[in-house]
Amino acid sequence: MKISLHLLTSLTLTQLFITLIVFVHCVESTYYCSTAGGVDPCTLAETLYEPYARTGNCEYNGVYAPCDRYITPGWYKSDDLVLDNCPVLNSCGAVYPIWMNGTFPQVADGVVSRTLCKTGFGGCCVRQYDLQIKNCGTSYVYCLPALDSCPERLCFGTNGTCEYPTTVAITTTVAITTTAVVDSTVSLREYRNLKTRYVVAIVAVILLVISLSGFATLMSFCYIKKRRKDREISQSRVELATDETGVESNGSPPHLHFQPK
């Protein structure tokens, strides 16, 4: 009994620990790439976030200052392939371009994981991100993360027009002349970014509380069992002592009323 209790406790502890580690590690990187419920990312994918000027030939444009920090993590589709070789600094419309260090999957492979690399002053892979990619037959879909800082951007394609759409140009011109608009644009983006992070944090806290309360219940259950067992032992000791001293068993001491059964 004692051994099985110990085993149970340590098993629960280990389980809790592993669950926590796996959870913390996985939740932010994969929850938005989830294909649970049999949803096909090929149909789920949205048009690429700010698709313009992402090709390897486009230099960073300080007026538009595009950046994938504000991307809503999730599945995206693109006619251009994600760049699978190291681009130079100041390309893909960014100062620090992001590329895929890996091979393109086959249709039969389904969703696969790949590594994204950031080109920096230190080399071709100064920072890594996770990428999920699926071959949908005629094109690929990508589960893209929000990047850490600006101006970092994912590369799609090698050669293209580096023009920005006029609608973006108008918005940006207004934003530059009116600081208030700049502020509200930034805060909206930050808000979206923050919202995602808060949802993750809240879910994490809720799950942590659930696991902890489950653990606490188990511990108190074990404690009660142990107390009962201790009482039984001391009870049998009292009985033993009573037998030895030859006291009448009818005259039970008051505490014997607590004896279970």
Give the nearest distance from C-beta 117 to ligand NAG in angstroms.
6
Q: Is 113 in the site for ligand NAG (CB under 6 A)?
A: no
Give the nearest distance from C-beta 161 to ligand NAG in angstroms.
7
What does the alpha-carbon distance between residue 76 and residue 131 come to, in Å, rounded to a whole number?
11
Which of 43-51, 70-78, 117-125, 200-208 is the region at the interface with ligand NAG (rule: CB under 6 A)? 117-125
Give the nearest distance from C-beta 74 to ligand NAG in angstroms.
25
Q: Is 61 in the site for ligand NAG (CB under 6 A)?
A: no
Q: Is 58 in the site for ligand NAG (CB under 6 A)?
A: no
Give the nearest distance from C-beta 186 to ligand NAG in angstroms.
33
Q: Is 14 in the site for ligand NAG (CB under 6 A)?
A: no
What does the alpha-carbon distance between residue 229 and residue 3 come to, in Å, rounded to a whole number?
14
Q: Is 101 in the site for ligand NAG (CB under 6 A)?
A: yes
Residue 78 identity (one-letter amino acid): S
Can you tell me which of 125, 200, 222, 238 binds ligand NAG, judged by CB under 6 A? Answer: 125
CB 115 within 8 A of CB 139: no
Residue 138 identity (one-letter amino acid): T
Give the nearest distance from C-beta 224 to ligand NAG in angstroms.
53
Q: Is 27 in the site for ligand NAG (CB under 6 A)?
A: no
Of 105 and 175, the one with the shorter C-beta distance to ligand NAG is 105
Residues 6+ apart with CB under 8 A from 224: none
What does the alpha-carbon distance between residue 226 and residue 203 come to, in Å, rounded to a whole number?
35
Can you tell me which of 14, 19, 85, 159 binds ligand NAG, judged by CB under 6 A? Answer: 159
Residues 6+ apart with CB under 8 A from 179: none
CB 69 within 8 A of CB 197: no
CB 127 within 8 A of CB 120: yes
Residue nearest to ligand NAG (CB): 125
Give the nearest distance from C-beta 160 to ligand NAG in angstroms.
8
Q: Residue-wise over 173-208: b if at least 16 C-beta within 10 A, else e?
A: eebeeeeeeeeeeeeeeeeebeebeeeeeeeeeeee
Interface with ligand NAG (CB under 6 A): 86, 101, 117, 124-125, 159
